[in-house]
Amino acid sequence: MKYTVILTEDNKGNFYAKVPSIPDCSAKAKTKNEAINLIRNAISKVMSRSEIIQLDLPTMPKSGSLLSETPWELFGAFKDTSDWSKLFDEIEIQRNNSLI
């Protein structure tokens, strides 16, 4: 299996490796190769004691409060406004001018 690893170097020359998809899976080393080897071992340890499952739950999430709900009735409310085509034409002109 392949894992995405973010490898960074600090201003002191230390290398840090982190796997975004695995919480708390990281490594620190003096060299890039050592960091890669350490993170490879860390991934192996986590995966050897882990099981990936999917759960199908019959319950739906609760509806949010009025302040955090998306006002769906407003989506598309201005779709027939002629000003949009003028705006998009202007954006296209600006984009084309910046490429020249």
pLDDT, one tens digit per residue, over 12-37 is 999 999 999 998 899 999 999 999 99
Report the C-alpha gap between 25 and 83 in whole angstroms.
Answer: 50
For residue 28, count CB atoms less than 10 angstroms from its CB and return exposed for 0-12, middle for 13-18, buried for 19 or more: middle
Neighbours of 33 (CB within 10 A): 10
pTM of the model: 0.54
Q: Which domain holds residue 35?
A: 6-48
Q: Count of domains in the chain?
A: 1
Domain assignment of residue 97, yes or no: no
pLDDT at 64 over 70: no
Domain assignment of residue 72, yes or no: no
